[in-house]
Structure 1
Amino acid sequence: MAQPARKIVGTTSTEPELPGRAREILDLVSAGMDSLEPPVIQNMVANLVRLGEMADEFNRPEMLELFREVARAGSNLRGLIAEIRELQETGTMTTLLELGRMVQAMKDSLTAGVVTGVLQQIVDAVAMMDQIQMLQGDRLVMGMIVAMQEAVKENKDKSPQGVLSLLRQLNDPEARKGLGIFTSFLQKLPAQLGFTN
């Protein structure tokens, strides 16, 4: 049989008089304590000691600074949560997740052969860019872009020309030269694409 807690703790019999409600609460606590076995009380005391040790750990300066940092980050976290909620409500989050799953599936489907094929295409593209650079292809492309911009600007506010007017422009040596280059390009293109018989 368990001994009353008052006997274990060693309280005195002279207890101060308390008001009615406080006396009821004290009697209830005393009855609860009296019904506890000594091992249970020892376990409670050990837990209280551990709780005190934890409080000491939290009272260290670095822990207090960590708590302050978390409090400062609270507004940022609230903003982030609001943005995530908005992404969910607009469906953007679902789209991002689907995109992530698609990228993961693509990553999972990469075999050694696929990787080798992609690397070969990259090498071919770099070699082609090097060849274009050696042949001053960048100058050709830039020349085409500038010529197109000038042509658009020159014809911006003009009404469309008739067929006879266009034919008269072929008398201009520069126009004939450009047309000759373009015609020669069209003649050589099928052979380069492998379309010749």
Structure 2
Amino acid sequence: MAQPARKMVGPEKLEPELPDRSRKILDLLSAGMDSLEPSVIQNLVGNLVRLGEIADEFSRPEMQALLREVAGAGSSLRGLIAEIKELQETGTMDALLELGSTLQAMKDSLTPGVVAGVLRQLVNALAMLDRIQAFRGDRLVEGMVAALKEAVGENKDKSPQGLLSILRQLNNPEARKGLSIFASFLQKLPAHLN
């Protein structure tokens, strides 16, 4: 049999002698590789190529900057994770998810007619607030609230008054004026409700 042509300049160099343990490991790896089927080797090589591509992605300056940012934000991320865990443990997360689902269902159910109706009501409410403001209704409401607070405070620890005592209070000009305004209001209300 012919041997391949080799250019021999000196004595043939042999592989360096490996320690016994290294030789056994090398023999084991070699035996393992020899026992693999071609499809397994092809899959292994494909995974190694993908691993090399991933390593290449991680070596890009943008990726390294992102990794440095993530490392710097570690304490913030830990805090966020703790907050989310607490929300899950207290059941708040479930409530928030349910609220989100409800809002999404409401959003999905909005039709042009519904939107137009809501906008019409909003415009009417704004017009009414404008009329109240022009009439100085804010002062009227504040006055009513203040008078109610004062009346409740005056009668808090008192026993209920008798009918004659209430009628005697009508002799007070301020009480009669308030009652007249209220009676006039009651007379005019039905016309505005129709």
The alpha carbon displacement at 1:56 in A equals 6.3
The alpha carbon displacement at 1:22 in A equals 2.4
In the alignment, is residue 138 of structure 1 matched against residue 138 of structure 2?
yes
In the alignment, is residue 69 of structure 1 matched against residue 66 of structure 2?
no
Partner in structure 1 of residue 119 of structure 2 = 119
Partner in structure 2 of residue 16 of structure 1 = 17
Partner in structure 1 of residue 93 of structure 2 = 93
Aligned pairs (5 A) from 1:182-197: 182-194=182-194
Q: Which runs of 5+ in 1 are unaligned?
A: 1-10
Partner in structure 2 of residue 103 of structure 1 = 103
Are the structure 2 counterparts of residues 105 and 186 from structure 1 closer, same or farther at C-alpha, using a change threshold of 3 Å? same
TM-score by length of 1: 0.72
Query: What fraction of aligned residue pairs are identical, expressed as a percent?
Result: 67
User: Aligned equivalents of 1:176 and 1:121: distance in 2?
Assistant: 38
Partner in structure 2 of residue 147 of structure 1 = 147
Are the structure 2 counterparts of residues 65 and 23 from structure 1 closer, same or farther at C-alpha, using a change threshold of 3 Å? same
Higher-RCO chain (CA-CA 8 Å, sequence separation at least 6): 1
Aligned pairs (5 A) from 1:37-76: 51=52, 55=55, 58-59=58-59, 62-76=62-76
Task: Kindly provide the CA deviation profile for residues 122-153 of structure 1, in whole angstroms up to 9, marking residues without a partner as x.
Answer: 11111111111222222211211221222223
Q: Which amino acid aligns with 1:18?
A: P
The alpha carbon displacement at 1:30 in A equals 4.1
Q: Which amino acid aligns with 2:126?
A: V
TM-score by length of 2: 0.73
The alpha carbon displacement at 1:178 in A equals 0.6
Q: Which runs of 5+ in 2 are unaligned?
A: 1-11
The alpha carbon displacement at 1:33 in A equals 6.2
Q: What RMSD, in angstroms, separates the aligned Cα atoms of the two structures?
A: 3.1
The alpha carbon displacement at 1:18 in A equals 0.4
Q: Which amino acid aligns with 1:175?
A: A
Task: Kindly provide the CA deviation profile for residues 60-90 of structure 1, in whole angstroms up to 9, marking residues without a partner as x.
Answer: 5554332222123233323323332332333
Task: Kindly provide the CA deviation profile for residues 135-192 of structure 1, in whole angstroms up to 9, marking residues without a partner as x.
Answer: 2222211211221222223333434323222221111111111111111111221222
Partner in structure 2 of residue 171 of structure 1 = 171
